[in-house]
């Protein structure tokens, strides 16, 4: 990833909070299906939206290892929280998706042609780390040897409204992974929410012609210098609040050198192999397939469903599972995120969103695991001096 500038682009616009609904109306009018954060069952998840009132207005989240709580805020911030258990992959790479249907015909079969139409998603409130996660999954599904037509059709028509984080969560470490907290690319519009006394507004950056087009239909004006400064300060403050930190220097080589490190046994003694971390991870893409038929056996379907490298089945070949132990499976997951991913797709597979830490039932912390391995290495080095 290119070195990211911390300066906002020369022209930014100001959208008053009271006009935010216009963004929703304009995008709906353009045929988009609006998706974004909403409070459901004690968590902020991503769901269908119709108006700004559907957003978690006045809510925030408290996060730590194995802990997530919603709290009422003292103000009416619209985006005053970080990321929850969902990520945008649930729309672009759905948890269960029919890949095809076949009909028995004579002694053979034919494909039942299905309409392939873009669902025209508009994502409202995509964080910088999540933009990076989407870019990473683009590499997997669109820029590898083969193209996934199911992902492509969902991704192509997407309109993305990014939000620069106004606060960091207890498990956030985007600064370490160089993925945030400011959105730098991959969006149509990016908002920074500002609240000053009685004033409540968004500083808006335009990232694409589609973004400019949408903004042109909404009440807005060029930002004043002090508004820009406020927006910059908000993001800079967030960057200083990271709940976690990971030294990512030479991380690939570090893990490649330490495939046999005793720490893998240590983490294996805590890991329940529940797969939560892979489900909440915005870049984890692994899936299995299930072939089913109707009762008469005349129609067959193949479903693709999210899968996890934490299951024994995942690596099963005739004779047994390749990754038979918890150690094998945790090592596979973490070295994939932080080491082999570089060789496969040219970047880290971790964006520092912290979900795997928050949603781990036993609070295993990827930043802590990396630190433990790194520290034994530096001890060894100093002992050798």
Partner 1 sequence: MALSTDSAMTSPVANPMIPVPWRVQKARRETRDTFTLTLRPANGEPLPAFAPGQFNMLYLFGVGEVAISISGDPADQENLVHTIRAVGTVTRPMQRLKRGAVLGVRGPFGSPWPVEEAEGNDVVIVAGGLGLAPLRPALYRLLAHRQQYGRIVLLYGARTPRDLLYQRSLDQWQTRSGIEVAYTVDAAAEDWRGNVGVVTTLISKARFDPVHTTAMICGPEVMMRYVIMELEKLGVTDENIFISMERNMKCAIGFCGHCQFGPTFVCKDGPVFRYDRIEPFFKLRGV
Using CB under 8 A, list all residues that contact partner 1.
99-100, 102, 104, 107-111, 138, 140-149, 152, 155-160, 186-188, 207-208, 210-211, 256, 259-260, 285-289, 291-293, 297, 300, 302, 304, 307, 309, 314-318, 322-325, 327-328, 331-332, 336, 339-340, 342-344
Provide, rounded to whole angstroms, the least separation between the CB of residue 140 and partner 1.
7
| Pairing of β 96-105 and β 287-293 | unpaired
Query: 88: which 2 tokens?
Result: 């945008």
CA 348 to chain centre: 13
Provide, rounded to whole angstroms, the least separation between the CB of residue 145 and partner 1.
5
Query: 301: which 2 tokens?
Result: 């379907």
Q: Name the H helices within the chain.
A: 20-29, 89-92, 128-142, 149-156, 174-177, 209-216, 225-239, 251-257, 263-270, 276-280, 326-335, 341-345, 355-358, 366-384
Residue 33 or residue 371: which is nearer to partner 1 going by CB? 33
Residue 1 or residue 292: which is nearer to partner 1 going by CB? 292
Q: What angle do CA 25, 37, 188 make, to 5 degrees?
A: 55
Q: Can you tell me the distance from the alpha carbon of 106 to that of 299, in angstroms, rounded to the nearest whole number?
A: 13
Provide, rounded to whole angstroms, the least separation between the CB of residue 80 and partner 1.
24
DSSP string, 186-209: S-SEEEEEEEETTEEEEEEEE-SH
Residue 57 or residue 210: which is nearer to partner 1 going by CB? 210
Alpha-carbon distance values, 233 to 83, 164, 236, 375 (Å): 21, 11, 5, 34
Residue 18 or residue 213: which is nearer to partner 1 going by CB? 213
Provide, rounded to whole angstroms, the least separation between the CB of residue 226 and partner 1.
29
Residue 86 or residue 331: which is nearer to partner 1 going by CB? 331
Provide, rounded to whole angstroms, the least separation between the CB of residue 308 and partner 1.
9
Provide, rounded to whole angstroms, the least separation between the CB of residue 129 and partner 1.
16
Q: Can you tell me the distance from the alpha carbon of 281 to that of 315, in angstroms, rounded to the nearest whole number?
A: 20
Provide, rounded to whole angstroms, the least separation between the CB of residue 243 and partner 1.
28
Helical pair 366-384 and 326-335, crossing angle rounded to 10 deg: 90
Bridge partner residues of 13 (DSSP): 204, 222
Provide, rounded to whole angstroms, the least separation between the CB of residue 315 and partner 1.
6
Q: Can you tell me the distance from the alpha carbon of 226 to that of 327, in angstroms, rounded to the nearest whole number?
A: 53
Residue 188 or residue 227: which is nearer to partner 1 going by CB? 188
Q: Can you tell me the distance from the alpha carbon of 68 to that of 289, in angstroms, rounded to the nearest whole number?
A: 32
Q: Can you tell me the distance from the alpha carbon of 137 to that of 151, in angstroms, rounded to the nearest whole number?
A: 9
Residue 245 or residue 290: which is nearer to partner 1 going by CB? 290
Residue 339 or residue 366: which is nearer to partner 1 going by CB? 339
């Amino acid at each position: 990833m290119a070195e990211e500038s911390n300066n906002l682009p020369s022209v930014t616009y100001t959208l008053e909070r009271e006009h935010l609904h216009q963004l929703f109306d304009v995008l709906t009018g353009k045929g988009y299906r609006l998706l974004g954060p909403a409070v459901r069952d004690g968590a902020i998840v991503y769901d269908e939206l119709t108006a700004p009132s559907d957003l978690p207005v006045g809510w925030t989240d408290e996060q730590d290892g194995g802990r997530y709580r919603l709290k009422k805020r003292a103000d009416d911030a619209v985006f005053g929280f970080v990321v929850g258990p969902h990520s945008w992959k649930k729309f672009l790479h759905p948890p269960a998706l029919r890949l095809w249907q076949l009909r028995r015909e004579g002694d053979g079969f034919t494909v039942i042609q299905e309409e392939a139409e873009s669902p025209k998603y508009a994502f409202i409130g995509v964080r910088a780390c999540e933009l990076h996660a989407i870019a990473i999954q683009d590499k997997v599904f669109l820029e590898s040897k083969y193209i996934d037509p199911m992902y492509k059709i969902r991704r192509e028509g997407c309109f993305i409204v990014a939000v620069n984080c106004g606060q960091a969560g207890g498990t956030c470490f985007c600064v370490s992974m160089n993925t945030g907290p400011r959105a730098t690319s991959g969006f149509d519009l990016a908002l920074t929410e500002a609240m000053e006394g009685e004033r409540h507004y968004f500083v808006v950056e335009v990232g694409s012609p589609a973004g400019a087009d949408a903004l042109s239909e909404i009440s807005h004006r060029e930002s004043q210098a002090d508004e820009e400064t406020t927006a910059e300060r908000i993001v800079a403050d967030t960057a200083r609040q990271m709940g976690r930190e990971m030294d990512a220097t030479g991380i690939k080589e570090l893990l490649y050198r330490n495939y046999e490190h005793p720490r893998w046994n240590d983490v294996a003694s805590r890991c329940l192999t529940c797969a939560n971390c892979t489900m909440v991870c915005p870049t984890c893409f692994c899936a299995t397939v299930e072939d089913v038929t109707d009762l008469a056996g005349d129609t067959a379907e193949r479903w693709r469903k999210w899968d996890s490298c934490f299951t024994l089945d995942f690596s099963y070949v005739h004779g047994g599972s390749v990754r038979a132990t918890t150690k094998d499976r945790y090592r596979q997951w973490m070295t994939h995120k932080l080491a082999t991913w570089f060789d496969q797709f040219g970047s880290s597979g971790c964006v520092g969103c912290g979900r795997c830490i928050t949603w781990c039932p036993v609070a295993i912390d990827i930043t802590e695991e990396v630190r433990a391995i790194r520290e034994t290495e530096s001890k060894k080095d100093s002992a050798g001096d």
